[in-house]
Amino acid sequence: MNAIQPWLPLLTTYAVKVLGAIVLWFVGRWLIRFAVKLVGRALSRQNFDRTLVGYIQSAGAILLNVVLVVALLGYFGVETASFAALLVGVGLAIGAAWSGLLANFAAGLFLLVLRPFKAADFVEVGGVTGTVEEIGLFTTTLTTPANVMAIVGNAKVFGDTIHNYTRNDYRRVDLTVQLSHRVDPAQAITLLNNGIARVANVLPSPAPIIEIIEFSLAGPVLVVRPFCANQHYWQVYFDTNRMIRNTFGEAGFPAPEHHHFVHGSLEGGEALARKTAA
């Protein structure tokens, strides 16, 4: 007992410090959870994306816990400056090793905040066309028209041109029609205007566009451009193609002739020009 007596003040001091550290740890943890919940509620009231709110809460909780640990170390008299420098060095090393992941992470944050597209939109991003299934923090998942799942890194999505086909209320269907030289373009345009009016789900405004767009060796080329709601695009596309074929067939329009000129040498050295009709 006499041997312990000199150490009692020191032990008492350390015991008080340990108890104080335990209290600070639990109080700090409670305050961190409380602050994270407050931030989450505030962001939710501002209609932030739930995924983004979750990531912000997680990142904030990690950062505050690190600050709490550093504070506790300082409470025990540990030099925290070197510890903070070590954390910075580790962060830089991880950042250099995971530069690609961090680029996807940063792009994912921008996608979630700026919202150039959302789930269920039909888009073309990173060279992939499909319906958006999920916008993650590192990747964006799409389902292609062939029912194939495609996962694209967010850095590629954000760094390339984004085509959102469902953001606007309607789309334009683009089709071209090759006419024969023996067909009057004005007559063909009149017949197509009458036919396009009977195609279901074609919008009256903007009005369909049917005009001569260019001329080829086979004859005039018409462009047929009806407008429709996004969900009716493929139905209007296929029905308009069918209407063009049926209309020209009923009018008795001849098929366009494609001319090919082949030049060669005969045994007598004469040039041969041969025209074939397709």
Q: What is the pTM of this model?
A: 0.60
**Is residue 112 in some structural domain?**
no
The pLDDT score that the predictor gives to residue 38 is 86
Let me know if 130 is exposed, middle or buried by CB neighbors in 10 A (0-12, 13-18, 19+).
buried
The pLDDT score that the predictor gives to residue 100 is 66
Give the residue numbers spanning the domain of 23. 10-97
**Is residue 3 in some structural domain?**
no
Q: Quote the number of domains for the chain.
A: 3
The pLDDT score that the predictor gives to residue 172 is 95
pLDDT above 80 for 50:
no
The pLDDT score that the predictor gives to residue 238 is 97
Which CATH number goes with the domain that contains 225? 3.30.70.100
The pLDDT score that the predictor gives to residue 96 is 56
Which CATH number goes with the domain that contains 127? 2.30.30.60
Contact 164, 123 (CB under 8 A): yes
**Percent of the residues in the chain that have a pLDDT greater than 90, as a whole number:** 44
Tell me 158's DSSP state.
Answer: H
pLDDT above 60 for 57:
yes
Angle at 161 between CA 156 and CA 164, to 5 degrees: 110
Average pLDDT over residues 70-86: 69
The DSSP code sequence of 5-64 is GGGHHHHHHHHHHHHHHHHHHHHHHHHHHHHHHHHHHHHHHTT--HHHHHHHHHHHHHHH
Strands 149-153 vs 170-172: parallel, antiparallel or unpaired: unpaired
**More confident call, 142 vs 262:** 142
**Is residue 272 in some structural domain?**
no
Half-sphere exposure at residue 256, Cβ-oriented, CA atoms within 13 angstroms: 17
Q: 61-70, 98-107, 114-123, 139-148: which range is least confident on average?
A: 98-107
User: Do 177 and 206 sit in the same domain of this protein?
Assistant: yes
Q: For residue range 191-231, list pLDDT tens digits in order.
A: 999 999 999 999 999 999 999 999 999 999 999 999 999 99
Average pLDDT over residues 23-50: 80
The pLDDT score that the predictor gives to residue 146 is 92
Amino acid at 214: E
Given strand 209-216, what is the order of strands in its sheet? Answer: 175-178, 219-225, 209-216
The pLDDT score that the predictor gives to residue 95 is 58
**Is residue 1 in some structural domain?**
no
User: Do 155 and 187 sit in the same domain of this protein?
Assistant: no
Q: For residue range 243-255, list pLDDT tens digits in order.
A: 999 999 999 999 8
